[in-house]
Amino acid sequence: MVKQISVFLENKCGRLVKVTQVLGKHNINIRALTIADTSDFGILRIIVDQPEKAHQVLKEEGFIASETEVIAIEVSDDPGGLAGILSYLEEADVNIEYLYSFVEKPAQDALILMRLEDNEKGVEALKKNNVKIIEGERIYSL
């Protein structure tokens, strides 16, 4: 599993800048990021090289942040690559809360990060189908 930091963003100019500045100041590197938002507020989800430290410094700077475990998998960069994997989850009846992707450098396969309603059950289903689950340490040190 990969530790993801989720940050509450109120809908106000400069909040995202502030988050990235705080992380930069503490030498924390962002590996991947996604934002979900409405007109009122947003949730920023980030993967960083030092999740505990990031959580700590964001809290100290007055942000509301939490740690969430997400699953990282490698998907071959071919048409239908993702579809195949998602079908395993469907078969196992595991809902996806959200997912986002990023590409390793130099670009080979795509990396998918996802949060499932039932992470454990999902991992089991993926492993059974020989999908490669990537450990947190590898993502942090990319």
Partner 1 sequence: MQNLEKNDYLSADEIKEIQDEKLKDLFYHVYHYSPYYRPILDEQDITPENFNGISQLEKLPFTTKENLRECYPYQMAAVSMDEIVRIHASSGTTGKPVVMGYTENDLEEWSLAVARLCSMAGVTAGDIAQISFGYGLFTGGFGLHYGLEKLGAAVVPFSSGNTERQLQLMEDFQTTILVSTPSFALYMAEAARENGIDPANYYLRLGLFGGEPCSDTMREEIEKQWQIKATVNYGLTEVIGPGVSGECLEKQGLHLLEDCFLAEIVDPQTGETLPDGETGELVLTPLIKKGFPVLRYRTGDITRIMPETCNCGRTLRRMDYITGRTDDMLIVKGVNVFPSQIEEVLDEFKEVSPHYQLIVHRQKSFIKDLEIQVELTPEGFSDSFREMESLENRIRQRLRSSLSLSPKLKLMNPKTLERTTGKSRRIIEQEGDE
Contacting residues toward partner 1, per CB under 8 A: 4, 6, 8, 10-11, 15, 36, 38, 40-41, 43, 45, 59, 62-66, 68, 97-98, 115
Shortest distance in whole angstroms from residue 89 CB to partner 1: 17
Which of 58/134 has CB closer to partner 1?
Answer: 58
Which of 58/131 has CB closer to partner 1?
Answer: 58
Measure the CA–CA gap between 23 and 65, rounded to whole angstroms.
Answer: 13
Nearest to 2 by CA among 141, 121, 117, 129: 141
Shortest distance in whole angstroms from residue 96 CB to partner 1: 12
Which of 1/109 has CB closer to partner 1?
Answer: 1
Q: Is the dihedral of CA 124, 129, 131, 132 positive or negative?
A: positive
With both helix axes pointing from N to C terminus, report the angle between 15-25 and 51-60 in degrees, rounded to the nearest 10. Answer: 120
Shortest distance in whole angstroms from residue 40 CB to partner 1: 6
DSSP state letter for 49: S
Tokens matching residue 22: 């705080």
Which of 12/105 has CB closer to partner 1?
Answer: 12
